[in-house]
Amino acid sequence: MNVQVLGCSHRTAPLSFRERLSFRPEQVTAALSSIRIRFPKAEAVLLSTCNRVELYTASENGGAPTGREAAEFLAAFHGLDPGEVIQHVYDFAGRESVRHLFYVASSLDSMVVGEPQISAQVKLAYQLATQLEATGPLTHAAFQAAAKVARRVATETAIHERRVSIPGVAVAGFARRIFERFDDKRTLVIGAGEMAEETLKYLRDQGVRDISIINRSPDRARELASRCEGRCCLWCDLFDELSAADMVVSTTGATQPIVTRRTFERVHSQRSGRPLFILDLAVPRDFEPEIGQCAGVYLYSIDDLKAECDRNRVLRERELPAALRIVEKETDRFMSDLHFRVTGPVVRQLKEMGQRISDNELQRLLNKLPDLDTRQRDEIRSSFDRLINKLLHPPLESLRVESRTGTPSSLLESVRRLFQFKD
């Protein structure tokens, strides 16, 4: 009975690798279906965000992929070299995997510590896996516990107070170095998802009013434009809007850059040297990195935010110890509950065996001593109970100790063999 995770994040792998390993929503569905076929006894949840790709697997009786098998699966799905994947991923099992999940869900491992988006992303990943019947008892327990831990961290610490989102860090840390004010700037948002809306909310708080929204699905662009008092533009107008914009925020789910250096050249020639701030929050990136070499163009990707986010983390470090204590305590509690689930059936079998032997032998003795009065019978019955309890106390106590300190697989197997228990 084990839970494990294999993955990479902004802490362990460069953006150039993460964007090749990332999963679009439809790919998550295909990957989980493929895992169910290849590892039918395994439970699985796949989390893919702009900053991390993580495959959580679990199994009560074996059958889950090993770390290497999980890495090879991810590599094969995306047509990557398994060696390259193994080089960039981390592989946690048991307590470390549960602790990592709790850490991620509580936004303690995020680029911007305390940002709210990751908790929702973890929840959605779990819900999708559940809809696809890829989850089971262990993943249900782990991800429901992770949601509880995230709530505790949010309510019992100040780590979410005055929180700064990734768009907030980008605008405050980079855009203000280029523009003194935003109320006179024309802003283009490419994409109409959750990140685009979160960015728009922040930009409007900073005074931005001239907003254009472009999305391949015009209906979603219109809906977002109506909520932020912006205007919806057609995808075919992308380069005209780029020519007119002062700031660009791009958050699409495209698999290839939507703007290359070559196609950007004609946009750049029409701008007459006006500065252009581009915040590319997409993974894979929407703008080719070479565009940032153009004069007057300030192009930032998700990884460029790391240093600014590290400064943000320093300001929140005083809250981290309290949050980490919650994570550690809840991890210990979860593992204790998990190990008890493992030992519970054997403990029950031991007690039932002892009671059955006691009842049978007691009845045989009482049948041979029909003249005993009630007090004598009760005294003999109590003696049998004490004898069985004393005989069972050492193995039961050993199982209890191991259930609190680690997975008691070897001891459990020894007890099963010693007493000839069936699974």
Catalytic residues: 50
CA distance 15 to 51: 8
Q: Give how far Cα 154 sits from Cα of 118, 140, 150, 241, 329, Å.
A: 13, 21, 6, 40, 15
Tokens describing residue 52? 């991390």
CB distance 278 to 298 below 8 Å? yes
3-class DSSP state of 8: strand
The residues pairing with 188 across neighbouring beta strands, listed in sequence order, are 212, 248
CA distance 183 to 203: 9
- Check whether the bond before 137 is cis (ω within 30° of 0): no
Helices (H), 206-253: 218-228, 238-244
CB distance 280 to 287 below 8 Å? yes
Report the residue count for the chain.
423
Biggest CA–CA distance in the chain, Å, is 114
Residue entry with tokens 């009786």: 61
Q: Give how far Cα 402 sits from Cα of 159, 258, 338, 412, Å.
A: 35, 55, 12, 10
CA distance 136 to 80: 29
Helix (H), strand (E) at residue 144:
helix 137-156
DSSP annotation of 271: S
With b for 16 or more beta-carbon neighbours within 10 A and e for fewer, the 130-166 pattern comes to bebebbbebbebbbebbbbbbebbbeebebbeebbbb
In 144-275, where do the E strands start and end?
186-190, 210-214, 231-233, 247-250
**Three-state helix/strand/coil letters over 96-140:** HHHHHHHHHHCCCCCCCCCCCHHHHHHHHHHHHHHHCCCCCHHHH
CB distance 53 to 156 below 8 Å? no
3-class DSSP state of 188: strand
Other beta carbons less than 10 A from residue 11's beta carbon:
11
